[in-house]
Amino acid sequence: MEEKCKIWLSDYKLRGSLSNNSWCVFDLVAKENQLSGLEQEITAPDLWDDPQSAQKKMKKTTRLRDEVQSWRAFERRINDALELTRMDDQSLRTDLEMEVDAIEKELEKRSFTAMLSGRYDADDAILAIHAGAGGTDSQDWAAMLERMYLRWAENNDYETEILDMTEGEEAGIKSVTISVSGRYAYGYLRSEKGVHRLVRLSPFDSAHRRHTSFALLEVLPQIALDDPDVEVDPNDLKIDVYRSSGAGGQNVQKNATAIRITHIPTGIVVTCQNERSQMQNRENAMRVLRARLLEIKQAEKDEEVAVLRGEYTKAEWGSQIRSYVLHPYQMVKDHRTGYETGNAQAVLDGDLDGFMESYLRQPK
């Protein structure tokens, strides 16, 4: 039992074996030294002379403190389990086996999370879903995907906020933009970017025939207002204010609170109408605009000319990253990794971790 509990633990380093036989190392001493330095900086008397810099430092300190405390708690959990195994008490065997399994799963999860080391992987994300080819079925599919990702976020303790939504004519949605907040939200969700394909018996076909629908997912990192990678000149913006569309009755906005921002140099148009406050809608629209401008800048670096010109991948046949088949059999398959499952309903209920990890573990 003790042998099973043994995890390499030396100089306050925890290391877990990954499925691709690489190693992930988390150095607590280095993190604690970094935290100590930040804590000294935030106690400086002139900290708030620069409010933006101060907020950035406070946020970074809080995140790093939470991370260090979490690893320390995990270290104590491992040591407690080791101590119990040394007692050689058979009455504890069942409980210990359950605890060891839980520790191994937690270590595997932490080892995987440590792989998310991209510049924006630890940041919040903006998820945009657009109905593609398929008419009403496609708009209903976009609504199903919205529910799926909201469920995934809820299951993983992420906070979500719908920034903008355009409803379909008959059912579903034409598009929705969602803010997903929490550590590593972008790191996980970036695996979902692309076209998602649904095959099912259509509830909107009187003959109940099989239909194929498509929806496009965009995933963007939410960057800080003072991030040097994106500078927005107010003179480059055209801002329109209008009344939010609604279902009628009490839902109709009597005041103009919806915001449309056009970035003149790139032609990017961002709308936000979900909040009743014009200021909140404007702030949310700017969050999305900055994320889209960052995507263009990254595309320039990668020489992705199609994305740079706004020629996004079309949501149609042959371009899907994942297929969700509900008829004549049930299966969800990722075409990039080959990962698949026959429990389609669980996936639609937000069980996406297997797909995400399979993609993110791939050698790039």
Helix H, strand E, coil C: the string for 165-217 is: EEECCCCCEEEEEEEEECCCHHHHHHHHCEEEEEEEECCCCCCCCEEEEEEEE
- 102 in the same domain as 10: yes
Reading the chain (364 residues) residue by residue, the pLDDT tens digits are 444 443 333 333 333 332 333 334 457 888 899 999 999 999 999 999 888 788 878 988 988 898 889 889 998 998 888 888 888 788 888 888 898 888 888 888 787 777 787 888 988 999 999 999 778 999 999 999 999 999 999 999 999 999 999 998 889 999 999 999 998 999 999 999 999 999 999 998 878 889 999 999 999 998 866 676 788 888 999 999 887 765 444 444 456 788 999 999 999 999 988 777 888 888 889 989 999 998 888 777 665 444 444 445 554 445 789 999 999 999 999 999 999 999 999 999 999 999 999 999 887 6
Q: Would residue 118 count as lying in a domain?
A: no
- 109 in the same domain as 129: no
Which pLDDT score, from 0 to 100, does residue 177 have? 94
Which pLDDT score, from 0 to 100, does residue 245 have? 64
- 330 in the same domain as 188: yes
Please report, for the domain that includes residue 281, its CATH number.
Answer: 3.30.160.20
- 265 in the same domain as 283: yes
Domain carrying residue 252: 234-306
Which pLDDT score, from 0 to 100, does residue 248 have? 43
- 99 in the same domain as 9: yes
Number of domains, the chain: 3
- 130 in the same domain as 189: yes
- 59 in the same domain as 152: no
- 101 in the same domain as 133: no
Q: Would residue 229 count as lying in a domain?
A: no
DSSP code string of 309-352: TT-PPPSSTT-EEEEEE-SSS-EEEETTT--EES-HHHHHTT--
Q: Would residue 102 count as lying in a domain?
A: yes
Which pLDDT score, from 0 to 100, does residue 350 have? 97
Q: Would residue 25 count as lying in a domain?
A: yes
- 340 in the same domain as 208: yes
Which pLDDT score, from 0 to 100, does residue 306 have? 47
The strand pairing partners of 268, in sequence order, are: 263
